[in-house]
């Protein structure tokens, strides 16, 4: 499993999202969802980071499930199309998560 193209980034994103979900990360300028609104209010900081952390964890799990179902094996031609599938299932959930977090922040 660790030889899959995006395994390490997906695993790191998943692991880094857990402290955000558990509200273990205080307001700071280095880690978490940092906007003017989240940095100005503790309640907003923890709500936004819990929501974002959950979405990023789900994004990581989506890729890891895909990678376990379709591991990178086979011929070079087949591997390129499979690599594109891995890229899609890594990037698309992350992009959707960012859009959802931005929408959530607008409603806070």
| Sign of the dihedral through C-alpha 100, 103, 107, 108 | positive
pLDDT band at 80; cut points 50, 70, 90: confident
Residue 108, pLDDT above cutoff 80: yes
Segment 56-73 mean pLDDT = 95
Separation between Cα atoms, residue 88 and residue 23, nearest integer Å: 30
Position with higher pLDDT, 94 vs 108: 94
pLDDT digits (tens, 9 = 90+) for 38-57: 999 999 999 999 999 999 99
Rounded to two decimals, what is the model's pTM? 0.91
């Amino acid at each position: 499993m660790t030889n899959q193209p995006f395994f390490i980034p997906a695993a790191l994103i998943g692991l880094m999202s857990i402290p955000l979900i558990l509200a273990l990360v205080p307001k700071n300028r280095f880690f978490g969802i940092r906007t003017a609104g989240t940095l100005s209010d503790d309640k907003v900081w923890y709500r936004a980071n819990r929501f974002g952390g959950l979405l990023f964890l789900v994004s990581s799990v989506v890729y890891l499930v895909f990678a376990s179902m379709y591991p990178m094996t086979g011929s070079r031609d087949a591997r390129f199309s499979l690599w594109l599938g891995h890229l899609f299932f890594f990037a698309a959930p992350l992009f959707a998560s960012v859009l959802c977090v931005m929408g959530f922040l607008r409603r806070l």
